[in-house]
Amino acid sequence: MKQNFEIAVFEGDGIGPEIISPTVAILKKLAALSPDYTLSFADAPAGAAHYARTGESLPKASMDLARSADAILLSAMGLPSVRYADGTEISPQIDLRKALTLFAGVRPVTVRAGQPTPLNMPDGKEIDFVLIRESTEGLFYTQGRGEVTKDEARETLLITRDISEKLFRFAFNLAQTRKDTGRGPGKVTCVDKANVFRAFAFFREIFDAEAARHPDLIADHAYVDATALWMVLKPWDFDVLVTENMFGDILSDLGAGLMGGLGLAPSADIGLDHAVFQPCHGSAPDIAGQGLANPLAIILSAAMMLDWLGIKHDNPAMTADGKRLREAVEAVVATGKVLTRDLGGTSGTADAADAVAAALGLV
Ligand code: ATP
Ligand code: MG
């Protein structure tokens, strides 16, 4: 029996609509050819332009759709020119993260042979690791609510047992899947600052308890400062890294830097029941509406979505399509003939998306 999955589509602002529309087109073609699953898509209006028009950045109908859908594909949201009355940026993606308890921010970092990177890669080495950033608490817990007086400012670092247990379970399960599919050795590194902060010693204790439940996987610890060093010197040694919100925020930009920038950096925010898949980059208003934006980061995010749905619903054909989609993007980058400007080429959004479809044999 074919399984059907409903995808909530947040096309967002700036380059958002331009990059999500060819992505949905590719997903439709892939699903149309599959005997094992179908996909349906429903638009969820939200974001800065929507706020400017209606006074609402995340309407209830869109929130309800996000809640009921099997997965959420989200393009970029927010525009520097449109702000809430208090001056902060419009960011429905953060509201979704909180409302749906999407505690695991998943940021794969991959550099394949032929992919531009600022590192000098030794022959035969590739980078392929996943950084998991806790996304609901940590040092972002008091975000916007820090205490500031004339002479002092304070923010709170919150680590809870409940979220940490879920986070580490997710990390070990991911390492197991990567091991089973030959993508990694089955190693999870807890990145913290347990030598200085009691909160991180607590974090590490919970990590160790989860590690004890996975005797076939390797559990490792690293301090965040050393991790920054090793991400530059020997990133090919990492498999799954798991860390607190602020540390993860910083290290994921370092990871995107290793990949040669934001153009190829996908991400997912995953909880127990829901997940949002989106590129790491923003809405790039400087190039919006010109057909210049690189669609590869959101296409890679869509590949992660197929992967996640396939594993969650025991639909291996879907996971296999996720892998094919990722490999098609990697082939386009390695061939280097059809690249957008951010990757040093001269092609536009449609050409790049068409090249991926061609690599998949869809045209
Ligand atoms: P946000 O706060 O939403 O993350 P930001 O200020 O970090 O936004 P981005 O919107 O990510 O900024 O853009 C940063 C730079 O990268 C801009 O010059 C933008 O044009 C470029 N950029 C971002 N995404 C893409 C893309 N998909 N293709 C090409 N260039 C991009
Ligand atoms: Mg940014």
The interface predicted TM-score (ipTM) is 0.95
Residue 144 reports pLDDT greater than 80: no
Of 206, 233, 264, the domain-final residue: 264
Task: For ligand 1, atom 27, name the residue with the nearest CA.
Answer: 294
For a ligand 1 pocket test, name from 281, 286, 290 the mutation site with the most ligand atoms within 8 angstroms of its C-beta.
Answer: 281
86 and 211, same domain (yes or no): no
Encoded tokens for 285: 């208003």
Smallest Cα–Cα separation from 192: which of 159, 224, 219, 226?
Answer: 224
Tally of residues, the chain = 363
Residues 204-234 have pLDDT tens digits of 999 999 999 999 999 999 999 999 999 999 9
Of 213, 236, 264, the domain-final residue: 264
Task: Say how many Å lie between the CA of residue 331 and the centre of ligand 2.
Answer: 27
Structural domain tally of the chain? 2
Task: For ligand 1, atom 3, name the residue with the nearest CA.
Answer: 282
Task: Say how many Å lie between the CA of residue 171 and the centre of ligand 2.
Answer: 25
Q: In what order do the strands lie in the sheet with 266-270?
A: 37-43, 3-10, 71-74, 275-279, 266-270, 104-111, 127-134, 240-243, 187-192, 218-223
Q: How far is CA 217 from CA 105, 173, 213, 220, 222, in A?
A: 21, 10, 9, 10, 16
For every residue of 335-359, DSSP letters joined together read H-SS-BGGGT--B-HHHHHHHHHHH
Q: How far is CA 139 from CA 162, 243, 285, in A?
A: 16, 12, 29
In the prediction, which pLDDT does 33 show?
Answer: 95
Task: Say how many Å lie between the CA of residue 281 and the centre of ligand 1.
Answer: 5
In the prediction, which pLDDT does 326 show?
Answer: 96
Whole-model pTM?
A: 0.95
92 and 162, same domain (yes or no): no
For the chain, the average pLDDT equals: 96
Closest ligand 1 atom to the C-alpha of 19?
27
238 and 112, same domain (yes or no): yes
Of 237, 264, 291, the domain-final residue: 264
Task: Say how many Å lie between the CA of residue 113 and the centre of ligand 2.
Answer: 27
> Tell me, what CATH number does 229's domain have?
3.40.718.10
* Helix residue ranges per DSSP H, the chain: 16-32, 48-54, 60-68, 92-99, 161-180, 198-212, 224-233, 245-258, 296-312, 316-335, 349-359
pLDDT (mean) for 334-356:
95
pLDDT (mean) for 8-27:
98
111 and 256, same domain (yes or no): yes
List all residues whose CB is within 6 A of at least one atom of ligand 1: 15, 78, 262-263, 281-284, 286-287, 293-294, 297, 340, 342
Residues 167-181 have pLDDT tens digits of 999 999 999 999 999
Task: For ligand 1, atom 22, name the residue with the nearest CA.
Answer: 284
Task: For ligand 1, atom 14, name the residue with the nearest CA.
Answer: 284
Residue 330 reports pLDDT greater than 90: yes
Q: Are strands 240-243 and 127-134 parallel, antiparallel or unpaired?
A: parallel
Residue 167's domain spans which residues? 106-264
238 and 294, same domain (yes or no): no
